[in-house]
Structure 1
Amino acid sequence: MRIPAYLRFLIPVALALEPGIKAQDAEEFDPFSDRFQSALEEDLFPEEKKPQQYLEPGKVRMLNALAKPSIVTVRQLGRDGEKRGTGSGFVISEDGLIVTNLHVIGEGRSIEVEFVDGSVFPVTEVHAFDRYFDLAILKIDPKTLSLEALKLADSAKLQQGDLIVGFGAPQGLSFSVVAGVLSAIRELDPGFIGEGETPDYPMLQLAMPIEQGNSGGPVLNLDGEVIGVVTLRHRVTENLGFAVPSSDLKALVEKPNPMPMSRWRTIGVLDDRLWKTIMGGDWTQRGGVITARKRGDGFGGRALCLSEKEVPEIPYEAVVRVRLDDESGAAGIAFAANGEEKHYGFYPTGGKIRFTRFDGADVYSWTILEQIETAAYLRNEWNELRVRVEERLITGWINGKKVLEMEEDGLRGGKVGLCKFRDTEAEFRGFDIGRDLGGAELPIKERKRLDSIINSYLDGASAEKTADELSLDATSGRALLEERADELLAMAADLQELKNEVYRESVINHLSLALDHPEREIDLFEVGLQIARIDDPEIDLAYYRSSFSRLVEDGADYLDEHALGGGRRVKAEALRDFLFRENGFHGSRTEYYHHSNSYINHVLDDREGLPITLSVLFVEMARRLDIEGVFGAPLPGKFMVGLEYGSGEAKKTAFIDVYENGELLSRAKAAREVWMLTGAPPAKAAFQPATPQEMAVRMLRNLVGLEINQRETPEAAINYLEMLLAIQPDAAHERFQRALLRLQDEDEDGARQDIDWLLENRPPGLDYGRLEVLRGTLRASE
């Protein structure tokens, strides 16, 4: 018996993956046997509803003719116009919208698309993008070209075993077509791609060859409709791939977040006011972390990234934390750099620390002055490098341990920055230059005081009292606690918990200080940063403060161009256009309940957030740009931005729905929106300006609700509750929640304090009869 031609391509997939053909049977496997065909059909085509069994003659040619005019090759261009990477894409509208993967276009680069007929068009706008689904919609100006768009199918109607056809530009070739089968619709196992990188939503599993460059191409059903976008291929076999379902693409089509290329090219790009790159390489910055990818143009793949910070007179120090993905390369601090080939390098490589003087372009002019093997260096971890430059002496530290002290004065002056060699991908954070960056050791008297506090805790003093005392000098307290935790391994867990409490108290203090100003002077972005700090002790505050300030500066330039001399409404609408049309900020389409949407730093990174975080961003920018009349509107179900404009009898109030790309609503339309979301009309107070404190509480309540209601991990909500009650002590519902969490954590004293406060103050909204019964049960156990 001959196996049909349309099934031949499935043989390697069946051998590797299908349960009907077991591994132990491989030696006896006969691809022409009835057993193989029946097993394959049984696995792929369930009895309840078998799809078409084969592709009819000419069907692939018909689909090929249909799709070919709509398929494009997508190219990412370098700064000098060189082609850096390719992928696939397809047209979805006659006016020039093209779908591809977000990873195909990268960040901060120009993009072009090429059709099968060879016509090339620059991308004028990133019409929509979504990191979660790895999707992007590009916009081109087709001019006189008549585009043919592919129709999106309803992927919810797909069935396992459906025959499919994929299109793309593998290996940069202009056009290819391949037939296959939809073998499954499933979520991938965690870690399938990499830690934290594997999608956690259902994907289409494709039994078809997937090659490099297919990413972003369409997968069609036999009606010629797009059912998915090719995104991944299996790491082991090229005959298995995965696609994002078309239903997830439709959300981007319906709610775009357009960004002109002039703005897109700035995402992830190093600010040339702060950094200058030498000898190429691929340097990007995101979230305070600078990443160096690809080999530099220098010998050995050398590339430099020099800071534009002014270098102090000798003596000075430079510090950075670095992490290498491959120890065969090298990356670290460059200093005394002349902006060309000469500089020192202090960096890890091969698990050792090297100090080198570079006097020219190649290895013959390089001198390895010292190579150090030290247990202080941690492979594959973040390591802090610090160098001190004196008139005749160079000193180096790894993670606080001195590993280098050498008389060397061959190079002085110049710039300080980062260096990277070979193919290693390196990450840098916390770069700084200054007189003394090592941190002064604690005075003996202060160390004794902190030791005494910790000893009291170990002898039975309450954690709350200890945390209060240590929070007066939180930095030193945390450092000493770390030291004692190493010494007292038996009590490491308790000390870790105490350290967290000290940190939490420190964050609460900073949040309270941020709110302790006249209302008009409160920096809402700083308030948001302090809330984000509670879960991220490593957050680079200086980087985000600087990034937001630059966004404000760009916004000021935009207003000068588009709203100079305009009134409140004109300026507010210009700010709206700047954020949502020029910079791509948008409401979260799919991951509404993700923590990142509640952290203002991630909103700044991803241009995606919740109504409250987008409102915080908008209101704070308006404050810094001196746009009067802009305020936070605490509408239930959806926070908005309010705008008062006009005067006298012409005075009006409008509302900006920041979650819907800044749509301007009347009060009546805003009320209708709330009614549709909550089923009840909003109270008058919901239209009044929210105070900065109320906006902070709203952000924290979102985080509390996320843990308790969405993730069902109430114990993780305690930090948010502590912060919330610190700035709004009369929040009855949250105080009751904290009492319950304290009981769950066997902290009956803390629970009694909260319940006694509620019974004494009796804020509305609680059942005090049941609360008194609960208090009685605690009294019995006193």
Structure 2
Amino acid sequence: MKYVFFPLLAFLGVSVGAAFAQEVDAPTDAPAAAKPSSDAAVSEAATDPESDPQAEAIVRQLRPSLVTIRVKGRDGQQRGLGSGFIVDAEGLIATNLHVISEGRRFSVETADGQSLKVLAVEASDSTHDLALVRVQPQDTKLVPLQLAAADSIAQGARVMALGNPLGLEYSVVQGIVSAIRDVDDRQMIQVAMPIEFGNSGGPLVDAKGQVHGIINMKSAIQERIGFAIPIARLHELRARPNPVVIDRWARLGRLDEKRWTPQAGADWQRSSGMIQVRGSGGGIGGRSLCVSSLPVPAKPFEISVSVRLHDETGAAGLIFHRDAKDRHYGFYPSNGRLRLSCFLGPSVFSWQVLAEVDSPDFLPGQWNRLKVRIDDQGIKCYVNGKLAIESNDTQLTGGSTGLATFRSTSADFRQFRVGDISEDDQLAGPAQEWFAATASDPQKLDAVSQSELEMLADSRDASVLELARRAIQLQRQAKQMQKLAEDVRRVPVLRALGDLLTEEDEDDLLRGALLVASLDNPDLDIQAYLDRIDQMAGEIREGIAEDADPAARLKQLDRYLFEENGFHGGRDEYYHPANSHLNRVIDDREGLPITMAILYIELGRRLGLEIEGVGLPGHFVVRHIDGESEGQLIDVFERGERMSRADAARIVLQFSGRLLQDHDLRPQTTEDILIRVLRNLMGSAGRLRDSEAVLRYIDALVALRPEEGEYRMMRAAARHQTDRDHAALEDLQWLIQNQPPGIDIHEVQEMRDFLLK
């Protein structure tokens, strides 16, 4: 179990990117593709309804009447997404039959994200691909759309389609009715507008918001042509309902109703002899139960099941002594540990964790056999035949047994049993001898005979578990060796960064930026890029007269970079790590403001120009110093655009919400610049949840500022998160011994004590 009190690392609740949000460079006019979309996204290929006040009003009026339909496939996962709309306030939803699919379970969500309980498929028409779904409004006020009269739409009429194209929920496109024509012996409304996957089932409305059709399909030939089913077909379907309750409609993977009773949400299905559960339960903590109807014998008795979690951060297992409400015991793996809990009510405050243990006998990612024995002395919990937890708790007695899942866990169950369970969880004697022999001589695994296979199969389940246990152990060892190799590889880079600032050299900034890049690119040839910068500077000098003044040299630098070679700010993939790697900036000719500035500074220095970095909040720029003036601010990200103090003030206000201060314009040291590059990389790694990359960058921060307590604290957290607890303890011990300012030593000691357990 990971220590939960670390406050500074991405993967313990908040992202590293968020921790450094004020430091990470950002473009002053971020590209539209990077901005969050509005609630009602609009296809770029269509007319924007928000540019038309009348259309905008219609969208606002209709949006509460739209629904999203998500369909589950044979494996229990979402296999499709479509649209629908409310037909009456009592809970009738119109959509395409192909959207809900025959025999599949599906969910219906309103535009504000509320899930509506599906009661039945009220009517369906396979010929015209229509379906009417009945939902339970509960406390939700359903607002129906107004259905137009049959055949009331004409060629040339302006219409809008609303739906979920390509998974973009509640999007809108506009177009016109181009024809009413027969398609595959069905009368259809042909519309001139882009229709995409996910629009299906949505309404086709006129300028008054009346529904004239149900979006059905796009043209296979033309991108901007689609088809809708005329509203007349929906009127006909409403007139001849044929309700099928959802439990009858959803035939795939139905549990045996005489054996199992799912409760509190989640999706419980049966497949290949297993019970599968997907999705979150409706109870507190996402709890969902599947209660067995098998009779429970008098004590002593046992219950058991084999469970496989698809994600070890989840929780799923056995329940017993369950009453008709919310009270029961539970034994289950949770976040990789084994837990015995007593649930005394629906609230999380009524839950009691009786015991929680790490067990070497629990195999992550594998089938694990859970067993509970209940007798007069209490409760004994086993995993894979080994005792894990004992408890004498007797708060609950009697009641049913079954399965439980928590927190949106996906899990599989098999071989559920209740009674006096006789299970052979032990290796037979010959198998024990064989495993002992292979432990001392692993090469025996390369030549297993048929007779040895037969012998191992005599205690099949125990043999399989032991093989899986050893495989997991070897995998862990291999993973640790790979981590060790990475750690060894970057030691010389960290040494070089640490030495960089103690040995003043005019190439410190350039070499330091390339060393930072080599953290992610171990094979980077740093000398080749040092030579390349010199070569670029030589190419620029060819266009400069020997007696050229600084202004002329600066102008030639701009021409070379931005006009002749196309260097530019990397907007399309702004947060890609390559934008922070100076070698990639040189190769790809695009980068972040700060890496573009490093290149500009280094080339300028080789041309005899004095250029310094200026670290404005959120946006790095440079300043050219010429004579006694304050210097000229330059935005390299914007192809060398000259900036005034007012421009700098605007950027500071945009990114920090305050006025420009003199310290915002101070020149940045080599150390300042390299730390900012590392912070940017940490932000990118935080977005990607790449804990190994985060550790690399924090290692570099410590190399640059070894006395900085914050960086040591962060590295201790990162090392623990990446299973380097011994190294984490070294950082914690350093903090305790040195007690740098700004560090809570009590918290450090608490972390150390946790890791020493």
**Same fold by TM-score, threshold 0.5 exceeded?**
no
Instruction: Provide the TM-score with structure 1 as the length reference.
Output: 0.38
Instruction: Tell me: higher relative CO, structure 1 or 2? Use CA pairs within 8 A at least 6 residues apart.
Output: 2
Instruction: Provide the TM-score with structure 2 as the length reference.
Output: 0.39
